Structures are given as structure tokens and as C-alpha cells.
Amino acid sequence: MELIDSRVSSGVNAFAWDFFDAAGEENMVFSPFGIYSALAILANGAEPGSAAEEELRRFLRFDS
């Protein structure tokens, strides 16, 4: 049994690299998983079928 679903981990990894690339060359410390989790909570609270929910789901690479 796989402990972490590879679909979830690949989405988090892709988000982390995109975020890292967008952050620029400045020195900073951040948790990609923490940011991803906070945005996932936001997506969960968005109105079902709304543009905000769709944008967050696309940004976070939610498949279903």
C-alpha cells in the first residue's frame, strides 16, 4: 500500500517548483506545502462551480 497518493504528491511538487520559480532570486524561507495547504483550504471553501473554485483547482492541479 502506497502511503502517499502519487497524484497528490506530483501536484504539490509541481506547485512548489512553480512557486519557487516565481519567487525570484531573493533570499526567503517558505513552506510550499504550507502555502499549498492554505490554498487548498481556500478552494474547499469556495462556492462549488464558481470561477474562484475553478481557478484555485487549476492552480493547485486538482484532478478531481
Whole-angstrom CA distances from 31 to 38, 52, 54 are: 11, 23, 24
The structure's pTM equals 0.68
Average pLDDT, the chain: 83
- Percent above pLDDT 90 for the chain: 27
C-alpha cell at 1: 500500500
Three-class DSSP labels, 21-48: HHHCCCCCCCCHHHHHHHHHHHHHHCCC
Q: How far apart are the first and last CA of the chain?
A: 21
Mean pLDDT of 8-37: 83
pLDDT in tens, 23-51: 888 887 888 889 889 999 999 999 999 99
Where are the domains positioned within the chain? 6-22+30-59
Q: What is the model's pLDDT at position 15?
A: 84
